[in-house]
């Protein structure tokens, strides 16, 4: 609790400093993590495989497993269960947590950044009037570990996770992030690779920007209501500039 209070104070200080030194309104860019900033499919699939194996249940196809990335664990396994009677959602979620923790403790490689991710984050962090945030199905501990490993943690003023709000596509994470930053929906853009990210953004009244290097296809992102869909990190900043000047 104390750590979270300190984090909230730190967030307020960062956002307040930006607000103090800029003459125009702040803009908030909220990134998803898995499939957007980092390529976590190897760890996710390995942990999924161990969880299913522990319950003696046939493993779904790879594409099916990756289709639920972005949801919180219980919601992800609920979707994978497809309404089957007696499907062990809670047990699979717990086995996944145990498997993921074991992989971390066993020295598994930290999820790599996608090409161009670090440069884009650092460029935006230096922009006057731009505040960066995270909205992810990961835990606070997990996302902070990954961002810290890659030297990006300090660039994010607000980090919202499955520990803080309901699973995507519920808008809670975005609403909390906007409150932290003192920014309204019209100044908020959510960047993500799944339809859950886009739906979350729209439910919060924010703009959704889809990326195709993750786990959902471009057509699905467009159909879910993304304002734009991009295929490489090099297109992110120019696309944000177009959105901000529309």
State pLDDT tens for residues 162-215. Answer: 899 999 999 999 999 999 999 999 999 999 999 999 999 999 999 999 999 999
pLDDT along the chain (246 residues), means of 10: 47 51 77 97 97 97 96 96 96 97 90 98 97 96 96 98 95 98 97 98 98 97 98 98 92
Please report the pLDDT score of residue 18 as a whole number: 54
Please report the pLDDT score of residue 25 as a whole number: 83
Q: How many other CB atoms are found less than 10 A from the CB of residue 45? A: 15
Q: Of 88, 105, 122, at which residue does a domain stop?
A: 105
Question: At 17, which CATH number?
Answer: 3.40.50.1000
pTM across the whole model:
0.89
In a shared domain, residues 160 and 208: yes
State pLDDT tens for residues 58-73. Answer: 999 999 999 999 999 9
In a shared domain, residues 53 and 128: no
Query: What CA–CA distance (Å, rounded) separates 214 from 115?
Result: 12
In a shared domain, residues 35 and 45: no
Q: Of 81, 105, 129, at which residue does a domain stop?
A: 105
Question: At 63, which CATH number?
Answer: 1.10.150
Please report the pLDDT score of residue 5 as a whole number: 44
In a shared domain, residues 150 and 231: yes
32 catalytic? Reply is yes
> What does the block give as tokens for 65?
């497993």
Which residues make beta-bridge pairs with 207?
189
Which residues touch 49 (CB under 8 Å, ≥6 apart)? 59
- Provide the domain count of the chain: 2
Q: Could you list the residue range(s) of the whole structural domain that residue 12 is in?
A: 2-39+112-244
Which residues touch 103 (CB under 8 Å, ≥6 apart)? 43, 46, 47
Q: Of 105, 122, 152, at which residue does a domain stop?
A: 105
Please report the pLDDT score of residue 246 as a whole number: 81
In a shared domain, residues 126 and 23: yes
In a shared domain, residues 88 and 145: no
Which residues touch 16 (CB under 8 Å, ≥6 apart)? none
């Amino acid at each position: 609790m104390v750590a979270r209070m300190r984090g909230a104070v730190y967030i307020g200080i960062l956002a307040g400093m930006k607000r103090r030194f800029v003459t125009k309104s702040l803009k908030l860019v909220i990134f998803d993590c898995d499939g957007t900033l980092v390529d976590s499919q190897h760890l996710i699939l390995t942990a999924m495989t161990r969880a299913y194996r522990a319950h003696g249940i046939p493993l779904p196809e790879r594409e099916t497993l990756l289709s639920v990335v972005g949801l919180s664990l219980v919601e992800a396994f609920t979707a994978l269960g497809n309404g089957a009677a007696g499907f062990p959602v809670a047990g699979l979620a717990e086995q996944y947590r145990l498997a993921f923790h074991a992989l971390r403790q066993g020295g598994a490689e930290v999820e790599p950044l996608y090409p161009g991710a670090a440069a884009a984050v650092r460029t935006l962090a230096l922009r006057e009037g731009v505040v960066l945030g995270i909205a992810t199905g990961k835990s606070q501990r997990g996302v902070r570990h990954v961002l810290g490993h890659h030297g990006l943690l300090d660039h994010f003023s607000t980090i919202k996770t499955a520990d803080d709000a309901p699973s995507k596509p519920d808008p809670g994470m975005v609403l909390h992030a906007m409150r932290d930053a003192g920014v309204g929906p019209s100044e908020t853009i959510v960047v993500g690779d799944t339809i859950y990210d886009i739906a979350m953004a729209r439910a919060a009244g924010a703009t959704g920007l889809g990326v195709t290097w993750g786990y959902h296809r471009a057509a699905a992102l467009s159909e879910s209501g993304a304002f734009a869909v991009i295929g490489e990190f090099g297109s992110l900043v120019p696309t944000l500039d177009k959105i901000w000047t529309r």
